[in-house]
Amino acid sequence: MHPADAEAAEAGGADRLELVGSMRHGGLSCETATVSAVVRSTALPVRVMLRLTEGFSTTGGELARLIGLAGDYLASGAEGVVFGFLNGDLDIDVPVCEAIIDGLDGAPWTFHRAIDHCLDHDRAWRHLRELDGLDAVLTAGSSLGVGHGIDDLTARASDPVAADLLMAGGGLEPEHVPWLVRAGIRAFHVGSSVRPDRSWEKAYVDPGYVRAWRLLIDDHTARMSS
* pLDDT tens by residue, 135-184: 999 999 999 999 999 999 999 999 999 999 999 999 999 999 999 999 99
Strand-pairing partners, residue 196, are none
CA–CA distances in Å: residue 129 to residues 94, 125, 166, 172: 11, 6, 12, 24
* Amino acid 61: pLDDT: 86
Q: Give the gyration radius of the chain's Cα atoms.
A: 17
- Give yes or no for a contact between 54 and 22, defined as CB atoms under 8 angstroms apart: no
| CA within 13 Å, CB half, 126 | 5
The kind and range of the H/E element at 109 are strand 109-111
Alpha-carbon span 70 to 82, nearest angstrom:
9
Alpha-carbon span 58 to 73, nearest angstrom:
19
* pLDDT tens by residue, 64-120: 999 999 999 999 999 999 999 999 999 999 999 999 999 999 999 999 999 999 999
Length, in residues, of the chain: 226
* Amino acid 154: pLDDT: 97
Alpha-carbon span 87 to 91, nearest angstrom:
6
The single-letter DSSP state of residue 13 is T
Architecture of the domain whose range is 3-225: Alpha-Beta Barrel (3.20)
Q: Could you tell me how many helices (H) and strands (E) the chain has, helices first?
A: 9, 7
Q: Which of 195, 105, 189, 115 is nearest to 152 (CA)?
A: 115
